[in-house]
Amino acid sequence: MYGVSRFELSRWGVREWSMTALALVVVFTVLLLGGRGLAAGAVGEVLGVRFGGDAERTRIVVDLDRSARGQVIETGADGKVVLTLTGVAPGRGLDGNGSGLVRGYQVIPVGTASRVRFDLARNANIERRFLLPPGDGVAHYRYVVDLKATGTAPVAARPMAPRAETRRAERPLIVIDAGHGGRDPGARGAQNNESAITLAAAQQLKRELERTNRYRVRLTRESDVYVDLNRRVRIARDAEADLFISLHADAGADPATRGASVYTLSEQGANRAVREVTRSTNWHRDLHLPGRDPSVDRILLDMTQRATQNRSAQFARVLLTHIEAMDHPLLRRSHRDAGLAVLLAPDVPAVLLEMGFITNPDDERALADERRRRRLMQAVAQGIDRYFREPGAPVVMASMGGPG
């Protein structure tokens, strides 16, 4: 039959109308999702801004969910660095405090691009800038800008959007744990014991922190003695520490393996921590909980544990940023989780820093060298500064893997 088919709508029944309605729904849904996909695909997103380094050299890392092209508008000679990143936008904008040479930053949308402004603590030049694609355990793009101070006088502060900061009645207390010691020498390198390296590093970190006059610092051991693992945790909890950091040197069967990593408490470890705490009859008093209703106290304990895990993860991310900025090698999966005994305090944010592999010749030389070890501890101190300076910064859980 030729010609144009005729639709006789008057003869349609319930089945024909239902199938037509379903088809229209499917068509409109596909068009809607396709339109959203095209709109979303047109512009990427600025995920955040990180800093590392010191007042002489500072690395800026702008995290992006896709590739972007950068253009320099202001070079830093007049106390500010301004960039345009094409193809990514920050939503309603980002702002915050900086670190090292950067006093503060703002990211504002400009159409389908982002205008990124860094107000400097002193004049600086851009040494280099480059885009890093996803890789080495990082799932997103990173636009990196390295700044170098020019030696001119500090510029006047420029107003930035304020960020709330916690004001403490007293200086934060940092407990530094030098791993192993005494009858437990730890891992053995070609020429050094882990226990001697961790003690030297802990003493250097203590000096770096005390030099700022912003912290109270306590060591779990100050000489080559053995301290029980549970005792190390108890020292931090009894002192009501604000942060606990345990220093170690890793070991591996392959001498080519090298790089630092940071451990935070795993979910299994968190469950173990709760079991350890609740063994005591007066555990609710130990955590300053009301103690009137066991079920309520258990809920409060779980909330305390979760908050502690989140703060630990936040510090681990900040710490790795500063270690990376000083070009200290990192393991491919540098943020890991485990149920290590020294991380079990439910109310003290804690990390374990493996500073490198003592079984790797290059790492062992770096950890045994006082100058290079001091540089690493300066990066750790800068990470601690950033952690306490921006207590309200968003918590971003890094991707973790198990030990190994």
pLDDT one-digit tens code per residue, 28-86:
554 454 444 434 444 678 888 888 877 788 889 898 888 888 888 888 877 889 888 88
Q: Which range is least confidently modeled, 87-96, 116-125, 154-163, 166-175?
A: 154-163
| Position 161 pLDDT exceeds 80 | no
Beta partners for 89? 45
In whole angstroms, give the CA distance from residue 81 to residue 96.
15
Q: Are 252 and 187 in contact, with CB atoms under 8 Å apart?
A: no
Q: What is the pTM of this model?
A: 0.57
Using alpha carbons only, how large is the chain's radius of gyration in Å?
27
pLDDT one-digit tens code per residue, 182-195:
999 999 999 999 99
pLDDT score, position 21: 58
pLDDT score, position 211: 94
As a residue count, the chain comes to: 404
Q: Count CB-CB contacts under 10 A for residue 14.
A: 7
To the nearest whole number, what is the mean pLDDT of the chain? Answer: 79
Q: What is the pLDDT averaged over residues 100-126?
A: 85
Beta partners for 48? 63
Q: Are 399 and 138 in contact, with CB atoms under 8 Å apart?
A: no
In whole angstroms, give the CA distance from residue 115 to residue 82.
7
In whole angstroms, give the CA distance from residue 139 to residue 362.
28
Q: Which range is least confidently modeled, 30-34, 120-124, 182-186, 347-351?
A: 30-34
Distance separating the N- and C-terminal Cα atoms of the chain: 73
pLDDT score, position 308: 85
DSSP strand pairing (350-357 vs 260-265)? antiparallel
Query: For the chain, what is the HEC assignment?
Result: CCCCCCCCHHHCCHHHHHHHHHHHHHHHHHHHHHHHHHHHHHCEEEEEEEEEECCCEEEEEEEECCCCEEEEEEECCCCEEEEEEECEECCCCEEEECCCCEEEEEEEEECCEEEEEEEECCCEEEEEEEEECCECCECCEEEEEEEEECCCCCCCCCCCCCCCCCCCCCCCEEEEEECCECCECCCECCCCEHHHHHHHHHHHHHHHHHHHCCCEEEECCCCCCCCCHHHHHHHHHHCCCCEEEEEEEECCCCCCCCCEEEEEECHHHHHHHHHHHHCCCCHHHHCCCCCCCHHHHHHHHHHHHHHHHHHHHHHHHHHHHHHHHCCCCEEEEEEEEECCHHHCCCCCCEEEEEEEECCCHHHHHHHHCHHHHHHHHHHHHHHHHHHHHCCCCCCCCCCCCCCC
Neighbour-count burial of 348, counting CB atoms closer than 10 A to its CB (0-12 exposed, 13-18 middle, 19+ buried): buried
Instruction: Name residues whose C-beta falls within 8 Å of residue 373's C-beta, 6 or more positions apart in sequence.
Output: 197, 200, 201, 204, 366, 367
pLDDT-based confidence at residue 92 (cuts at 50, 70, 90): low
Q: What is the pLDDT averaged over residues 384-393?
A: 76
Instruction: Name residues whose C-beta falls within 8 Å of residue 300's C-beta, 6 or more positions apart in sequence.
Output: 287, 289, 290
Q: Copy the structure tokens of residue 161.
A: 């959007």
Give residue for tokens 């989140």: 310
pLDDT score, position 18: 56
